[in-house]
Amino acid sequence: MKALPFIVLLLGSLLTISALLIWVERRLLGQWQERYGPNRVGPGGILQTAADVIKLLTKEDWIPPFADKTVFILAPAVVVSAVLLSFAVVPFGPSLVVADLNIGILFLLAVSSLSAYSIVLAGWASNSKYALIGGLRGAAQMFSYEVYMGLSLMGVVMLAGSFRLRDIVEAQQNLWFCIPQLLGVGIFFIAALAETHRLPFDIPEAEAELVAGYHTEYSGMKFGLFFLGEYLGIVLMSSLIVILFFGGWQGPWLPPLVWFGTKTVVVMMLFLLMRATFPRPRFDQLIAFGWTIMLPATLINLLVTAAVILMNRHDVS
């Protein structure tokens, strides 16, 4: 596939999908809370996000006089570019991938973690107390989930014997990794919630306590970029879960891209369902949860997986 048109197409569809996701989320949340959600703009409210974008673009682009201007402007760009960059290694189909890196997973973990910088920088540059607390929480939250997030993927890597995402999908020809790695899916899903700062782990944002956390001082499209980054993050994490645990594009009869899309949509709905269900834990509860429950569980999962793989190997014994 020709690289450049594909990249442009990919970026365009990703932005469209995340815009649609915002609408889908609001409608679904409404339904789950026995109300309608946005249903006025366009058929069923589908153009709500477009209206919101127009509003954000035409709003006054205000930079607080006490802010650190350069960093303040750069911070929202970091989150979007980091997430979009991570999509470079995501295989949407057998040949639908921008860069088929042999260390795809490591690249993905590294680049998507960069988005935490955006939160810290935004919190710091805003020079306001709520934003700073939000940024600090973002940093501390990253430390607690990033460890078990990476480790929970190692079981998949061991089973597939490769860091390349395409190899991992092809290794799931006979059995999706969600079955041998049941614990791994759960752990990675929780880590993905924390990575995208979605409820119940939206602790850096925490509108109930911190106004809006790290983006308190942001308005206009700079705020829109944070928003976009969050939803792109959901798309990224959902497609990652599909690739790593649910056989990626593989499935009978339908073309690969359709399978990939369907599975990703289902996982995205799961993200939204989590938001509708759970209340936000306290900050220390999240950290305690990460270090005392998730990390040991991940290590046990890792050890058991390794032991089973070793037992089934014939060349050692």
Partner 1 sequence: MKLLMPSLKAVWRVFARLFKRPVTIQYPDQPIPVSSRWRGRIILSRDPDGEERCVACYLCSVACPVDCIALQATEDTQGRRYPEWFRINFSRCIFCGYCEEACPTYAIQLIQDFEMSEYRRTSLVYEKDDLLISGTGKYPEYNFYRVAGVAISGKDKGGAQRESPPVDVRSLLP
User: Cα(264)–Cα(267) distance, rounded to whole angstroms?
Assistant: 5
DSSP string, 76-135: HHHHHHHHHHHGGG--SSSS--S---TTHHHHHHHHHHTHHHHHHHHHHHHTSHHHHHHH
Which is nearer to partner 1, 36 or 143 (by Cβ)? Answer: 36
Q: Are 248 and 99 in contact (CB under 8 A)?
A: no
Which is nearer to partner 1, 28 or 299 (by Cβ)? Answer: 28
CB of 266 to partner 1, least distance (A): 12
How many beta carbons lie within 10 A of that of residue 286, not counting itself?
20
CB of 28 to partner 1, least distance (A): 8
Which is nearer to partner 1, 35 or 313 (by Cβ)? Answer: 35
User: Cα(133)–Cα(123) distance, rounded to whole angstroms?
Assistant: 7
Return the DSSP state at 39.
-
User: Cα(143)–Cα(287) distance, rounded to whole angstroms?
Assistant: 9
User: Cα(120)–Cα(137) distance, rounded to whole angstroms?
Assistant: 9
H or E element that contains 287: helix 283-288
CB of 35 to partner 1, least distance (A): 5
User: Which residues lie near partner 1 (CB under 8 A)?
Assistant: 28, 30-36, 273-274, 276-278
Which is nearer to partner 1, 28 or 139 (by Cβ)? Answer: 28
Location of structure tokens 């949407």? 92
Which is nearer to partner 1, 129 or 282 (by Cβ)? Answer: 282
Q: CA–CA distance from 47 to each of 44, 53, 151, 177 (Å)?
A: 8, 10, 40, 38
Which is nearer to partner 1, 62 or 278 (by Cβ)? Answer: 278
CB of 278 to partner 1, least distance (A): 7
CB of 208 to partner 1, least distance (A): 19
Which is nearer to partner 1, 180 or 186 (by Cβ)? Answer: 186
CB of 33 to partner 1, least distance (A): 7
